Homo-oligomer: A and B are copies of this chain.
Amino acid sequence: MNAKERGRQIIRELRGEAFLAAKDQRLNEFNAPIHDYADEVCFGRIWAREGIDRKQRSILNIAMLTALNRPTQLRSHLEGALNNGCSMEEIREILLQAAVYCGLPAALDAFAIAEDVLRARKLLA
């Protein structure tokens, strides 16, 4: 399996076949190389590594994307984290720790996104 296929298989396991199909539908001549980069470098090269498991990689992303102020990607990786077995309690702890290290505004923005994601999955009333 080459990096592209390996990366796409990881995305499929992380987000499901429908997510991958929707992503493929957005492909065009302009964005194709960044899709390749995401598939091959991000997922096929880094997520494919051993040493830490996938749930840990999801947890790292919640922390880093909160710090980096990137809400669209944070939402996407919160979905991935829940699929990778991350619990609501764990997400809460990650974001509380972000309050101390990244500041309260970063944590409040991330909590608002996480609440949306949890509610859409009926994990939160």
Contact = CB atoms under 8 A, between A and B. Distances in A.
A24 interface: no
Contacts of A33: 49, 92, 96
Contacts of A68: 67, 69, 101-103, 105-106
A111 B38 CA distance: 12
17 contacts: A28-B124, A37-B104, A41-B45, A42-B104, A46-B97, A51-B90, A51-B92, A59-B60, A61-B101, A67-B68, A68-B103, A68-B106, A69-B69, A69-B70, A70-B105, A70-B106, A72-B109
A97 B60 contact: yes
Contacts of A93: 49, 51-52
Given A37-B96, A72-B109, A73-B104, 9 more contacts: A33-B96, A46-B97, A60-B60, A61-B101, A65-B101, A68-B69, A69-B69, A72-B112, A100-B103
Contact of A114 (B30, B41, B109, B124): B30
A27 B118 CA distance: 14
Interface string A104-120: 11111101101100100
